[in-house]
Amino acid sequence: MELKTIELTKKFGSRAAVNGLNITLSNGVYGLLGANGAGKTTLMRLLCNIQNPTSGKILLNGKNIVGLGEKYRELLGYLPQHFGYYPNFTALDFLLYIAALKGLSEKTAKKKSKELLEAVDLSAESKHKIQTFSGGMKQRLGIAQAMLNDPHILILDEPTAGLDPKERVRFRNLISVFAKKRIVILSTHIVSDVEFIAEEIIMMKSGQVVHFGKPQEITAEINGQVWECIVPSEKAEKSAATFNTSNLRNIDGSQTILRIIADHPPMENALPVQPNLEDLYLFYFKGDTKR
């Protein structure tokens, strides 16, 4: 399966949220990274055919998705950043309702709903009303509803928001298994989640792709620009604020290791270290709070 964008552009007034995008996706997990306002959500909505592009097109195996219509939507699973639910529904009733909307038979709907509730660790709460759920439980239910129709293209916007570390590990394992012979696109601000499961990274800024490739390949851009420095713990906070710091770690009661992104050694005792995806993210988006 191949999903391809050709000069894909979406404008809101004079602002281009997505600007002349050309990417080709095949089976696998893609991590979509970028600061607020980078165009990630707009791109995902375009790929889901929820919004129409201002210009350009999206092709599935060479055919325009607009012409495919309902046949394309049947292949999709989508979790928006804020998904809607009925608070008085139980978790099981909600999945059965969504399954009916997606055209699943009653037998298939019951089977898939129970399997997915087990997969997202909500079996024990299947008959509890959603209004009693925590934020993380609602998010897990949202992930389950996106996967009900066994989609060939799964698009998840901030799927790990509200999940605790154990739940995030469960999610990563679930997606890794599910992604075989499917296209999975996930956007998250939790860079470590993407680093663990994404085979390729799409990094967006100002509506354009600034990097597209395997994590170890794209981080090579900042080789020689990531450093670790040891400072007295009482000076760590001030030093971290002075430099572009991706991490600080206390090594005892009196010393702290700072991980700093800089094009030259920031301190006399600075040692170069191998960059990771979070370092690259901060290299591009430090201080970018645009919404």
Can you give the pLDDT at residue 274? 94
Can you give the pLDDT at residue 188? 81
Q: Is 7 helix (H, G, I), strand (E, B) or coil?
A: strand
Amino acid letter at 212? F
Least confident of 81-90, 117-126, 179-188, 190-199: 190-199
CB–CB of 262/243 below 8 Å? Answer: yes
> What tens digit of pLDDT does each residue of 217-264 get?
999 999 999 999 999 999 999 999 999 999 999 988 799 999 999 999
**pTM of the full structure:** 0.86
Rg of the Cα atoms in the chain: 21
Amino acid letter at 24? T
Residue 287 has pLDDT above 90, yes or no: no
- Crossing angle for the helix pair 106-119 and 91-101, to the nearest 10 degrees: 130
Pick the more confident residue, 252 or 156.
156
Give CA–CA dist 15/40, Å, rounded.
15
Query: If you average pLDDT over residues 169-190, what whole number do you get?
Result: 87
> What tens digit of pLDDT does each residue of 22-58 get?
999 999 999 999 888 889 999 999 999 999 999 999 9
Burial 165-195 (b: 16+ CB within 10 A, else e): eebbebbbebbeebbeebbbbbbbeebebbb
Residue 291 has pLDDT above 70, yes or no: no
Q: What confidence category does residue 200 fall into, taking pLDDT thresholds of 50, 70 and 90?
A: very high
Compute the half-sphere exposure of residue 251: CA atoms within 13 Å on the CB side of its CA: 12
